Structure 1
Amino acid sequence: MSLVALAVTSGVPHFELAMACDVFGVDRSDLVDPWYEFLVCGPDTAAVGDRFRLRTDAGLDQLVRADTVIVPACADADGDPPADLVDAVRAAHEAGARVASLCTGAFVLAAAGLLDGRRATTHWLHAAALAAKYPRVEVDPDVLYVDHGSVLTSAGKAAAMDLCLHLVRLDHGAAVANQVARRLVVPPHRAGGQAQFVATPLPERPDHPLGALLTWAMGRLDQPLTVEDLARRANMSSRHLARVFHDITGSTPLRWLLTQRIHRAQELLETTEDTVGAIAAATGMGTATTLRRHFNRTVGVSPDAYRRTFRGARPGGAA
């Protein structure tokens, strides 16, 4: 029987913790016997968030017994991870454990040196901070999870479920993983290289320097807008607009515009029966071939695969 240990400290967030417990900690020996042995390892004073007391099975020193160690999100990604947690995770890996982080748990793995020289991911909101704090880590903010065999990292929230199911798939095969996914009512398989499906957000303040321009552009995604069109609307030169755009969004005007077109295409794929060609026209991509090329490059899957994943294969698109 494979032992999965969940490494926790006080203040650990609810979401990723609950995912790991549901996937590995619920007895599913009706699917495969034996199922996992599951331990929650941490101090007996640990709490979940700021509301619930957590019952642990063993201390962090018992992580070295595990075949797989799951490190959920950090209580505070801005601070340094608890030294005892970092030491215990490092010791478990040195003892031969497979170590997987969920969301900002990647900060713990990075502090333990497990990500040095490796590609890794975390929630896109914290990717820049991870890269800045641990420059020896090759941070990829655009994927769901990264698998190096003995070290795995996932992006945030739902991507943590993708990584947990990936581990089940590795251990027990696709059929068992699909059954677990069905019981949890989640997609059975999203490849790790798939993008996190997050579009660049619009500025929230109405007085934002680009707020009016971006709102105007969002209402004209079906049109072949150019940088010159955006600059003219903003009463700026193209060069000045590019500088302002980069300072505020971290992107170029055309890259931002393409991201919004892709995001609109995602919405239409999820909510309509429109053909890929019709969606290409509605998003300013022109042809189905152009949409497929940009969609696959940006999102990591084809428009058809995206629609199947997010709408299901049953009649009427019921998910």
Structure 2
Amino acid sequence: MPVIAVLALDGAPGHQLTTPGLVFGTACREHRAAEYEVRLCAGPGLRTTGGPAPALRISAPYGLDGLADADVVLIPGRDRHRDEPPPGVLAALRAAVGRGSRVAAVGTGTFTLAAAGLLDGRRATTGWRHIEELAELHPRIDVDPLGTVVEDGPFLTAAGVYGGMDVCLHILGRDHGRRVAGETSRELLTPLHADADSVQEEIDREVAESVGLEPTLRWMEASLHLPLTVPDIATHAGTSISSLTRRFRAHTGLSPLQYLLRARLQEAQRLLRATDTPVERIAALTGFASSAALRHHFRALTGTTPSACRRAHRISDDPGRGCGRSPDRT
């Protein structure tokens, strides 16, 4: 029976600790072929859970020894994710990988895995608030700014509040196929009312037809220098966050933050081609926290650097060339 070892470090979000049991327990109950043992393993110093829910005192039946025969080690996020992990944690993770275990990290749990050096030279992601921080602290990682679940070799990393569920369903799909993962997902996420989704979709269609996203898209493009958040965008559009996300994907094929990132990069490309504005100033004008953040995202989505883009444009007669791949928004 495969063992899923959930590594609980102090300050881990409570929902990330319970999600693996929920997903794999549901799969085991509904599908005879799916058998898993889920272990909660305490790291040194484990005392309480962290946000966003209120802190709860916690104890676990296993310590780091519970990772010794695990098929999958799952690392939730934690408070103070920049701190060095507790003694023994990094060695235990390296040993697990050495034995052939798969390792998954959720949200800021990616920082724990990165601290072990196991993600160097690999693609990984984390929660969107910490993307730039991960890239700056661990420059040898190819940080995916748009990923939900990123798989690279034996490593899985996931972003978002529901990242733990996403990564568990991904593991389940790898082990037992997409049908089992899909049916488990539906079992966990079925609406309370059978017609809730269709009613919401009809409301969304009516709102989209009467108003549309164009005013909000134009507002975003005029506000690139501001630290826009999804709640900000939803407020401007006069809709809920879930409805906003559905409408964005239908209209642009992207999430709101993906669209925003691409808009920022397109404006950065324009400024590089049309002006002599320093890269540091362009970063501020287009809403990036630093020039390093701009350079990271620029390379990830265009395949080149801002400086190389500007140099290439100056020796080209075509004003539309010289900046690598275009970060198209549609």
CA contact (8 A) 2:5 2:74 kept: yes
Give matches, 1:87-98, under 5 Å: 87-98=91-102
Give matches, 1:1-319, under 5 Å: 1-25=1-25, 28-43=28-43, 45-49=46-50, 51-185=55-189, 246-247=283-284, 249-250=287-288, 298=329
Q: With structure 1 as the length reference, what TM-score do the two structures score?
A: 0.59
After TM superposition, give the deviation of residue 244 of structure 1 in Å: 5.4
Q: Deviations over 1:207-228 (max 9, x none)?
A: x9869xx99xx89xxxxxxxxx
| Cα separation, partners in 2 of 1:298 and 1:209, compared to 1, 3 Å | closer
After TM superposition, give the deviation of residue 83 of structure 1 in Å: 3.4
1:28 match: secondary structure: helix
Counterpart Cα distance in 2 of 1:34 and 1:15 = 23
Q: Identify unmatched segments of 5+ residues in structure 1.
A: 188-198, 220-229, 231-236, 252-293, 300-319
Q: Which amino acid aligns with 1:162?
A: D
Instruction: Give the percent of matched residue pairs that are identical in Structure 1 and Structure 2.
Output: 35
After TM superposition, give the deviation of residue 125 of structure 1 in Å: 1.1
Q: Which amino acid aligns with 1:2?
A: P
Give the root-mean-square deviation of aligned CA atoms: 3.9
After TM superposition, give the deviation of residue 150 of structure 1 in Å: 1.1
| Cα separation, partners in 2 of 1:241 and 1:178, compared to 1, 3 Å | same
Q: Deviations over 1:233-263 (max 9, x none)?
A: xxxx987799756315029xxxxxxxxxxxx
Query: Number of paired residues?
Result: 222
Q: Deviations over 1:34-54 (max 9, x none)?
A: 521111111585322262122
Q: Which amino acid aligns with 2:146?
A: D
After TM superposition, give the deviation of residue 181 of structure 1 in Å: 0.3
Counterpart Cα distance in 1 of 2:106 and 2:90 = 15
Q: Which amino acid aligns with 1:9?
A: L
After TM superposition, give the deviation of residue 298 of structure 1 in Å: 4.5
After TM superposition, give the deviation of residue 112 of structure 1 in Å: 1.1
Counterpart Cα distance in 2 of 1:43 and 1:102 = 16
**Structure 1 segments (4+ residues) deviating >4 Å:** 208-211, 237-245, 296-299
CA contact (8 A) 2:225 2:284 kept: no
Q: With structure 2 as the length reference, what TM-score do the two structures score?
A: 0.57
After TM superposition, give the deviation of residue 115 of structure 1 in Å: 0.3
Counterpart Cα distance in 2 of 1:210 and 1:68 = 41
2:156 match: secondary structure: strand
After TM superposition, give the deviation of residue 131 of structure 1 in Å: 1.3
| Cα separation, partners in 2 of 1:138 and 1:92, compared to 1, 3 Å | same
CA contact (8 A) 1:103 1:154 kept: yes
Deviates more, 1:93-102 or 1:39-48: 39-48
After TM superposition, give the deviation of residue 159 of structure 1 in Å: 3.2
CA contact (8 A) 2:173 2:180 kept: yes
Q: Deviations over 1:9-57 (max 9, x none)?
A: 1211123223223113557233134521111111585322262122312
| Cα separation, partners in 2 of 1:129 and 1:91, compared to 1, 3 Å | same
| Cα separation, partners in 2 of 1:34 and 1:210, compared to 1, 3 Å | closer
